[in-house]
Chains A and B, each alone.
Chain A
Amino acid sequence: MIRHLKAYFIFCVVLLAAMGCAPKSYVVLMENADGTVGQLAVTNAEGDVLLNKPRTGVDLDGKAGKPYTVDENRIQRDFGEAIAAQPPLPVSFMLYYEAGGTVLTDESKALIPAIIEAARHHPAPDVSVIGHTDTLGDSEANEKLGIERAQAAAEIIRSAGLQVIDWTIASHGERNLLIPTPDEMAEPKNRRVEITVR
């Protein structure tokens, strides 16, 4: 009898311990790759909880819980595999052009190998190429010049023999200035193509 009670007692302790460290649902705010930190808001029936310190978490159990620190061991145990599965982060490059055409500046020409190298390191890369112009000339002609620049830039990458899975090629003409200027103004920094390798 005593033995049975003892076994029952041990069973209860083990069960409670298991419940206490039972895996639960929660969210953790993490620092970005560049060191910056954003915010998370967790909303449920009991209200809002704001997370704004890296490596703090809150339970997702429907209650308005208190944020707590999540240590590296727990992060690795619960998220190690998800973190390891992260694809390479998208990278963007800016190419600049001589006035009025699709001739790259010398500095920008020198960037091409880095772009091709980036695409080589992205699995199944999908690439977007957006052409821009300055405000010199009429806006319709600049829409066309923007797309010509984007196409020429895409062709450079294509000719390197990369297996790009998807292309987005578009022109923003003079509608999306990097350096705001009045109309009819030459601005080298606005004559550009933005390439993103995902």
Chain B
Amino acid sequence: MLMALWPAWAQETIGFVKTVTGKAAVTDAGKLIDAQVGTPIKMGNILKTGPQATMGVTFKDNTVMSFGPDTEITVDEYLYAPGKGDLKFSTSMAKGSMQVVSGVIAKLKPQAVTVKTQGGLIGCRGTRFLVKVEP
């Protein structure tokens, strides 16, 4: 049953690429897609910018993320069903620079928005913040 539900759930769009300069990519289920304005983002996707590239993404809960050059982020989990109380937004950042403007998930459920890095886990309680990771 769970297996049967997996594909539909895995493919749900949770956000869209809104800005791109230079060469940026979205990896969806192992497939590398050139990021363009309008490229959909799904849970599990890996977002990458090239050495001279930037990218900005807006998610369904109004979270806005933007990445500087040579950045890699994975969207580990995204749950946005306020009616059911399902709220979670966790990402892992391997390298690069990022700005996050938190959205409805952080407003409704403090600590539900996290960024995992090698040197610590960042929990966000409704704010804008910047993260730099040098691996």
Contact = CB atoms under 8 A, between A and B. Distances in A.
Nearest to B52: A81
A39 B111 CA distance: 10
Contacts of B126: 32, 38-39
A27 B67 CA distance: 14
B102 A85 contact: no
Contacts of B60: 126, 128, 168, 198
A27 to B, nearest CB: 5
Given A60-B133, A86-B101, A123-B18, A39 B127 contact: yes
A90 B18 CA distance: 11
B67 A85 contact: yes
Interface in A85-116: 85-90
B99 A79 contact: yes
Contact of B99 (A22, A86, A166): A86
Contacts of B132: 23-27, 78-79
B62 A198 contact: yes
A174 to B, nearest CB: 14
A169 interface: no
A142 B128 CA distance: 38
Contacts of B125: 38-41
B55 A85 contact: yes
B67 A82 contact: yes
Contacts of A38: 102, 106, 124-128
Interface string B89-113: 0000000011101110010000100
A60 B99 contact: no
A140 interface: no
Given A83-B66, A87-B66, A27 B16 contact: no
A42 B13 CA distance: 29
Interface string B47-67: 000000011111010101011
Interface in A19-70: 22-33, 37-44, 57, 59-62
A144 interface: no
9 contacts: A23-B134, A25-B118, A29-B128, A40-B122, A79-B97, A84-B54, A84-B66, A87-B56, A126-B58
